[in-house]
A and B are shown apart, each in its own frame.
Chain A
Amino acid sequence: MCDKELLIGYLYDELEAPARLAFEQHLESCQPCRDDLEDLRAARTHLASWVPPEADLGYEIVRTRAVTTPRFRLSPAWGLAAAAVLVLAAASAIANVEIRAGGEGLVVRTGWNRAEIESAAPATIPQALQVSAPAADLQQFDRRLRELEAELARAARVTGAPAGPSESEVMRRVSHIVLESETRQQRELATRIGQVVRELDALHRADLVRLQQSIAQSQRLTDAEVLQQKDLVNQMFRLVSTQR
């Protein structure tokens, strides 16, 4: 039995010169070792064609700064300023409401600058979004004022003197009516904003779904075509190579 360790050492050229020479002499007289060597070399040759799939690597060690960065702290003065801004923002939130639907999506803005908003409004706010007192509401407001007026006149006629509701009582009732109307309008506004947001959202979703569907459809189509053509070419290629 020959020394297979020498054979492997010879195969990979890891023998010292004397050992190599000695083994070469042995090879000349040993057919089994020559056969082995041929097989081992063939195996090595085959191994050369096994290549791992290409992979996008690019690893990198990155140090995170979570520990080393000092925490950002507000000084008391900045804290006050921030609070002031916050209060201002809160105050302005109830003043006016502007809604824009444009390229950048839905924008709801609040602020005091009513005039500016109104001048910009007609061009940018879609019909459905224009906020105004609904006609029915105005009519109701009007009706209640007339009722109050009529009541006052009736009271004057009956007593013959202005002994009906006092002036302050009238003011109170009028302002109550006005307040009621405003509350209703605000509720209406909130409902409308909600409605519009929902509508736009639904619209966006529908658009997205349509977009995805059409992309998927065309993808399927092209995928299928590519696969078909690949199969065809592969078949042709195999046919050609088997007929040689």
Chain B
Amino acid sequence: MPRKRGVDPMTTDEELVARSRAGDLDSFNQLVLRWERPIYALAYRVIGREEDARDVAQEAFLRAFRALGGFKNQAKFSSWLYRITLNLCRDWMRRERRTPVSQPPEGVDVIELAGEADATESIEDLVARKELGRAVEKAMAGLPDEQRTAIILKEYHGLTFQEIADLLDCPLSTVKTRLYQGLLVLRRQLRQAGVEGGFRREPGRARFGAVERRAES
């Protein structure tokens, strides 16, 4: 397959864009390969459904490919791609008339997790982390769209405040306020859900704060 062909990792996105615009399909597919995971992750975290997130990601690349002629290198390619993806997510939510749904499976499956465990993390820690992940997903789904989107772009995609402001067409101060408020609400909700503490470090080993269970009957 041509797309598996190695490309110099030092080749910038913008160089690949230029080649793609000159008609080199392989270069565009290299961009796809580079960005498909982040774009899928963005879509998943915004809309909360795996299958729809995959569809959104695919559609985002298709649109980017078709609109490549209109991309003027004013923004980074990734920002442009993020914008396309966020627009698609917004369309999806409008169409589905819903806020993101998080449908994590009931309970954490220990056997499934055993396969993912690596040497540095005990299965117990892994279970705690997975349960925490589910709690976070649920709490995030409860946040207003603007706050959630800002947090996702900042936390999982490492965008600067300015990049987020450009992407969401809002003032810089608004981005910071959304982050501040969103994070504090999240923290409160997780505390209410029984999640305490943060990331504790013990010698030689990473441990997440345990997910406290309410007194069981």
**Which residues of A are interface residues toward B (Cβ below 8 A)?**
4-5, 7-9, 12, 14, 36, 39-53, 55, 57-61, 63, 229-230, 233-234, 237, 241-242
Closest residue of chain B to A62 (Cβ to Cβ) is B25
Residues on A with C-beta less than 8 A from B62 are 61
Tell me if B124 and A241 are in contact (CB < 8 A): yes
CA distance A46 to B176 in the complex (A): 19
Tell me if B133 and A51 are in contact (CB < 8 A): yes
Tell me if A47 and B155 are in contact (CB < 8 A): yes
Could you say which of B180, B190, B216 contacts A242, with CB atoms under 8 Å apart? Answer: B216
With A47-B136, A50-B140 as contacts: A57 and B129 at CB distance below 8 Å: no
CA distance A36 to B180 in the complex (A): 9
B187 touches A (CB below 8 Å): yes
Residues on A with C-beta less than 8 A from B82 are none
Closest residue of chain B to A50 (Cβ to Cβ) is B136
Tell me if A57 and B57 are in contact (CB < 8 A): yes
Closest residue of chain B to A57 (Cβ to Cβ) is B36
Closest residue of chain A to B158 (Cβ to Cβ) is A12
Tell me if A52 and B44 are in contact (CB < 8 A): yes
Tell me if A237 and B184 are in contact (CB < 8 A): no
CA distance A167 to B195 in the complex (A): 112
Tell me if B110 and A233 are in contact (CB < 8 A): yes
The residues in B between 161 and 203 inclusive whose CB is less than 8 angstroms from any CB of A are: 161, 173, 176-177, 179-180, 183-184, 186-187, 190, 195, 197-199
Tell me if B176 and A9 are in contact (CB < 8 A): yes
Tell me if B183 and A44 are in contact (CB < 8 A): yes
CA distance A136 to B195 in the complex (A): 90
Closest residue of chain A to B35 (Cβ to Cβ) is A59
Residues on A with C-beta less than 8 A from B186 are 43, 46-47
With A46-B198, A57-B54 as contacts: A234 and B107 at CB distance below 8 Å: yes
Residues on A with C-beta less than 8 A from B140 are 47, 50
CA distance A59 to B213 in the complex (A): 41
Closest residue of chain A to B66 (Cβ to Cβ) is A61
CA distance A50 to B198 in the complex (A): 14
Tell me if A36 and B184 are in contact (CB < 8 A): yes
B88 touches A (CB below 8 Å): no
CA distance A44 to B110 in the complex (A): 26
Residues on B with C-beta less than 8 A from A14 are 160-161
Tell me if B184 and A59 are in contact (CB < 8 A): no
CA distance A59 to B30 in the complex (A): 10
Over the window 102-136 of chain B, the binary record of Cβ atoms lying under 8 Å from chain A Cβ atoms (1 yes, 0 no) is 00000101110000000000001001011011011
Residues on A with C-beta less than 8 A from B41 are 52
Known: A8-B176, A46-B195, A59-B57. 10 other contacts (CB 8 A): A4-B176, A42-B197, A43-B187, A49-B133, A55-B40, A57-B40, A60-B29, A61-B25, A233-B110, A241-B124
Tell me if B44 and A61 are in contact (CB < 8 A): no
Residues on A with C-beta less than 8 A from B44 are 52-53, 55
Tell me if A40 and B190 are in contact (CB < 8 A): no
B154 touches A (CB below 8 Å): yes
Tell me if A43 and B183 are in contact (CB < 8 A): yes
